[in-house]
Structure 1
Amino acid sequence: MSAGETTTSGRSAPTGRAGSVRLDQVVHRYVRGGEAVTAVGPVDLTVPAGEFLVLVGASGCGKSTLLRLIAGFERPTHGSVRVSGAEPRPGGAAGVVFQTPRLFPWRTVRGNIDLALRYAGVERGRRPERRAELLARVGLEGTEERRVWEISGGQQQRVAIARALAAENPLFLLDEPFAALDALTRERLQEDVRRVTAQTGRTTVFVTHSADEAVFLGSRIVVLTKGPGTVALDLPIPLPRGDVDAEELRASPEFTGLRARVAHAVKAAAAA
């Protein structure tokens, strides 16, 4: 799909709406050993406001690079990136969750959330109510006074998700946030993210290696070729997005068929 033309449903994609993302002929290179290496591109991609896009592919295909470009942490070597119609900047329109929680270990859960609320410009008097809302949203009620080292890895990642949601940015970016977690915790947090993004309606871009995770979470999946990453498959996911039973969804023939298709595309793109 050419950037700015149509969405996966065939409708015109407004690229200036809050949370919308547009990449036009994006190429990104870096220098290694004195030589320029192309990590990504060229990539044309439009993400309409409210969509849950999953970037999936083998290691080194440029998934995280694209996420950093969208977050404004890096600038493309060629082409342009626009978020809500403007050039992205760190701390701007996106809340970001990384592979590790990156919390402040000397602070309590309350302290970590309140710091994010302060940076987001939330008035002091409103912070307790807002903090309670965020912790309830990620299932961490009653943990405010616990230190980071007193809670599990999965709970720490939930705090990181709550912190990223604190500013109410229209765009939510997640870079393999569950990669280091055990399978049961990972599935629980996948359900949490699916529910939270449905509740907030934020545009979401999620990076993963897993075809299963991609199909469960995404309303659309983009598979990238091995480096330099380009779009190998752009696939809408026509699965129910509302309040659904996760086990039933994963066991459905529609889910297993889509998972197999994405897994095949990832393997083919990595081998090409």
Structure 2
Amino acid sequence: MSSPEPAVDIEDVEHRYGAVTALGPVRLTVPAGQFLVLVGASGCGKSTLLRLIAGFEQPSAGRVRVNGAQPVPGRGAGLVFQAPRLLPWKTVGGNVELALRYAGVPREDRPARVGELLERVGLPDVANRRTWEISGGQQQRVALARALAVPNPLLLLDEPFAALDALTRERLQEDLRQVSAASGRTCIFVTHSVDEAVFLGSRVVALTQRPGRVALDVPIDLPRAGVDAEELRRAPEFTAYRAEVRSTV
């Protein structure tokens, strides 16, 4: 019996910008449903690797496969960036509705789906507000709802909480943890925060300084069921994982 196709397969990938090797060689296999966090210092190639998985760039060497095929920009993966990148001339609901339209959801079904998605990210009452009328943390929730609107099995997140204050960041980390568990999607999350990596990931991969290579690849086995965020962060296992990742980074 053959093993299931991995969600992402990265085979000896290298990427260069001119004479500078930014990444690689890197070899990673990401099973479907896993929450993988890429962590490392600035400039280690985390975001470059994410762009290769999204299909925005092609590797200088090696091969990237998403669900068995070469990645195509805008297909196969939902994307959440550090900046929400919402359309300011549309309402909150209009931004999510646009993603549903591109996903081929019939017009008559979109209002209910917009409501469901905004409810999922904790924004049940803001559909008719303009994007500039809500906070930065709420805008990132809208960006997440927009990414979830497209039924792609893969979600890519490039430091989406980096510009937020600490309290908002922690609230959104917990929200994302719950949303990802409920959706069952494969997630690849980029961060330079060790605490964030251990809190979110079911697996953490730490990259070296440029050129980025895998320095640590560790599964994160934490008692998450029925455990709130503060209790999880106080767990001895959390402290041990954080120390292991921090010593590598």
**Band of TM-score, shorter chain:** over 0.9
Q: Output the aligned Cα RMSD.
A: 1.1
Distance 1:63 1:110 in 2: 31
Q: Which runs of 5+ in 2 are unaligned?
A: none
Percent of aligned positions that are identical? 71
Deviation at 1:259? 0.8
Which residues in structure 2 correspond to 1:43-58 (within 5 Å)? 43-58=26-41
Of the candidates 98, 104, 110, which is equivalent to residue 93 of structure 2? 110
Q: Which residue of 2 aligns with 1:169?
A: 152
Deviation at 1:243? 4.1
Distance 1:238 1:110 in 2: 37
SS at match of 1:29: strand
Deviation string for 1:212-231 (max 9, x for gaps)? Answer: 00000000000000010000
Distance 1:149 1:262 in 2: 37
Aligned residues: 248
SS at match of 2:104: coil
Query: Could you list the runs of 4 or more consecutive aligned residues of structure 1 that deviate by over 6 angstroms after TM superposition?
Result: none
Q: Which amino acid aligns with 1:187?
A: E
Give the TM-score, by structure 1 length: 0.89
Tell me if the contact between 1:198 and 1:242 (Cα under 8 Å) persists in the aligned partners: no
Tell me if the contact between 2:224 and 2:232 (Cα under 8 Å) persists in the aligned partners: no
Q: Which residue of 2 aligns with 1:154?
A: 137
Deviation string for 1:208-263 (max 9, x for gaps)? Answer: 00010000000000000001000000000011343421110011111111111111
Of the candidates 24, 30, 40, which is equivalent to residue 17 of structure 2? 30
Tell me if the contact between 1:198 and 1:241 (Cα under 8 Å) persists in the aligned partners: no
Q: Which residue of 1 aligns with 2:126?
A: 143
Give the TM-score, by structure 2 length: 0.97
Of the candidates 203, 206, 211, which is equivalent to residue 228 of structure 1? 211
Q: Which residue of 2 aligns with 1:71?
A: 54
Distance 1:81 1:220, change over 3 A: same
Q: Which amino acid aligns with 1:193?
A: L
Tell me if the contact between 1:13 and 1:46 (Cα under 8 Å) persists in the aligned partners: no
Q: Which amino acid aligns with 1:106?
A: W
Distance 2:145 2:188 in 1: 16
Of the candidates 88, 108, 111, which is equivalent to residue 128 of structure 1? 111
Distance 1:81 1:163, change over 3 A: same
